[in-house]
Structure 1
Amino acid sequence: SSGGAGALRLAAELGPKRVWAVAAASPAVTASQAPLRDLVDIPVWLGCGERDDWALQTQTMLKGLRALGATAEGRVTSGCQDMAYRRRVLPEQLAFLSRHI
């Protein structure tokens, strides 16, 4: 979603001194547009449903962040960007964020 993309861009812009962690579900951004290098020092959780249009880009961003040595968690799971998916991943997102604040 655009909210997920915005969260990643804002975290990258503000940097690790002001952002302790960021979580984004189905971020509507291509891996080539994502500010991966600017997120290396910020723990990132990315998730997406496999039927979502952004699933491949989410996987690519996770791999790219991990290759850069970033703390990057999350995965592409069953489903799509609907309320059932959000309910399923919210506990994982909150647990991730709570470990980094």
Structure 2
Amino acid sequence: MSQNSLSVNTAATQKSAVQLDDIAQRIERVMNLARETVAVQSAGADKVSVTAANTFNTVAKTFDEQMTAGTKVMREVSTAITTHGASVTQVDDEVATTIVFV
């Protein structure tokens, strides 16, 4: 006979959600500061210099877009953890009120 059990430390999950959100916020802050400084101007008008600068700027833009998408997902996960943690607590409270001790 199998016994299924669920144990959730909602305080710990809530703390983890807050920490995840804080990490996303720090990443966004760093990316906002770095966005302007990573733009590279071509060292010259020759084709190699222009291409090198354009390539670097394209990579920097792609990196920025991916970091933005990543922090969005981090915030979504944080929200999901918070929402589901609250749901577990609510269901647990509801079930606890139906327990009858004999």
- TM, length-normalised to structure 1: 0.26
Q: Which has the higher contact order (CA 8 A, sep 6+)?
A: 2
TM-score by length of 2: 0.26
Larger Rg, first or second structure (1 or 2): 2
Q: Per residue, is there more strand in 1 or in 2?
A: 1
